[in-house]
Amino acid sequence: MTLQFHSSAAARRHTGSELGGALLGAQLPESPPGWPVQAICAPLLGADMAAVQETWHRASPALHGTSEGIAWRRSGDTLFGVINLDESEFAGTAGRSPLQAASEAAYDRIFRLLDAQRLPYLWRVWNYMADINAETHGLERYRQFNIGRQDAFLAHRRGATGNVPAACAIGLAGGPLSIAFLAGQAAPVPFENPRQVSAYHYPAEYGPRAPTFSRAALVHPPGQEILFISGTASIVGHRTVHPDDVAGQCRETMANIAALVDAVNRGARSQPFTLDELVYRVYVRHAADFPRIRDTLAPRVGAAEVRYLQSDICRAELLVEIEAMASHPLGQD
Ligand code: 3EB
């Protein structure tokens, strides 16, 4: 019954036990309609395959549906969904850009689905959008997204601090606003990083509304403890450090992840998590930096599975961002 994660080289046929997942690569095969598969259209770096498929699955059969444009599948008390919105269909009203409106609508719909499914908790959210650092309507697009996201959390009385999901927010060359999420019955246990100001408490110099995510979360499907490390970058306190030094950013980011894993291990119910067992996704702003990044990370991640994607990151000075996850079995407690 455990929720399993695996990756494979080619787009495989979908089987009934899958909840959904993601396809990563510069050129992606069509995913079958109605399946929650997030298309992350970005070049894979240092990989010998053109596309990778990441899949969440579970032995028990899944319920599925489409609700307000969200493709979702549910097994037991766990649901995976994907929503893709074309911003151009969200005409901005005064003071509200199309991306802001689309972001608010996407989270609105996600929360309505979770209410209807009686699954209260958002565990982990993967946010992708085009031109994340571009300024339009007088504001950087990532900051527009943050307003829409926070408004939806508040409108649904979910609060925008503390108990918020783990997340990432990444820029792609084009495509829709795409949001994938895992949700469940059991409350996630959020963690903050002692080296960083909580993102939901960032000061206004990073945008009129703070981002709504926690630095990490432990989630507990039956018999299991899954760790999600949110997108993590070279930020200490709330400031970007090593702005023009990609190796420095890698070392700082891994120091942040190590500190976070230490904090998580003080609250984990399973065996302690270690850096070399995590599955990493590394977002690389400039493809030319990839060899430096790989070589700097190598001694820090050991034999771990690491996937590199060329993409934009939510602060213009950030050259690299790293997210990670791991799963442990949990004895009967
Ligand atoms: C940071 O620490 C880097 O807006 O959901 C990392 C993870 C970042 C998630 C989000 C943003 C988000 O602020 C950026």
Provide the pLDDT for residue 212.
Answer: 98
The values of phi and psi at residue 189, to 5°, are -105, 110
Say yes or no: CB of residue 160 within 6 Å of ligand 1.
no
Nearest-CA neighbor of 31 among 18, 15, 13, 19?
A: 13
Q: Select from 145, 168, 200 the residue to mutate for testing ligand 1; criterion: most ligand atoms less than 8 Å from CB.
A: 168
**Percent of the chain having pLDDT more than 70?**
97
Strand partners, 56: 5, 20
Residue 309: strand, helix, or coil? strand
Residue with tokens 């998580």: 264
Residue nearest to atom 6 of ligand 1 (CA): 231
Instruction: Please report, to the nearest 10 degrees, the dihedral formed by the alpha carbons of residues 246, 252, 258, 264 taken in order.
Output: -110
Average pLDDT of the chain to the nearest whole number? 94
CATH fold for domain 2-329:
60s Ribosomal Protein L30; Chain: A; (3.30.1330)
Q: Tell which atom from ligand 1 comes closest to the C-alpha of 199.
A: 13
Per-residue pLDDT at 218:
98
The tokens describing 273, both together, are 């998590």
127-176 tens-digit pLDDT = 999 999 999 999 999 999 999 999 999 999 999 999 999 999 999 999 99
Other CB atoms within 10 A of residue 128 CB? 25
Beta pairing class for 305-310 and 44-45: antiparallel
Is 267 strand, coil or helix? coil
Q: Going by C-beta distance under 8 Å and a sequence separation of 6 or more, which residues neighbour residue 295? A: none
Decide whether any atom of ligand 1 lies within 6 Å of the 330 Cβ: no
Do the Cβ atoms of 166 and 228 come closer than 8 Å? yes
| pLDDT tens digit sequence for 222-279 | 889 999 999 999 999 999 999 999 999 999 999 999 999 999 999 999 999 999 999 9
Higher pLDDT pick, 14 / 48? 48
Is 164 touching ligand 1 by the criterion CB < 6 Å? Answer: no
Contact assessment for residue 307 and residue 6, using Cβ atoms and an 8 Å cutoff: no
Nearest C-alpha neighbor of 214 from the set 166, 144, 250, 176: 166
Query: Looking at the predicted structure, is the pLDDT value of residue 11 above 60?
Result: no
How close are the terminal C-alpha atoms of the chain, in Å? Answer: 16
For the question of residue 321 being annotated catalytic, the response is yes
Q: Are 58 and 78 in contact (CB under 8 A)?
A: yes
Please indicate whether residue 253, judged by its CB atom, sits closer than 6 Å to ligand 1: no
- Contacts for 138 with CB less than 8 Å, ≥ 6 apart: none
Tell me what pLDDT residue 36 has.
Answer: 95
Strands 37-41 and 18-25: parallel
pLDDT value of residue 13:
64
Spatial distance between the Cα atoms of 149 and 110, rounded to a whole number of angstroms: 11
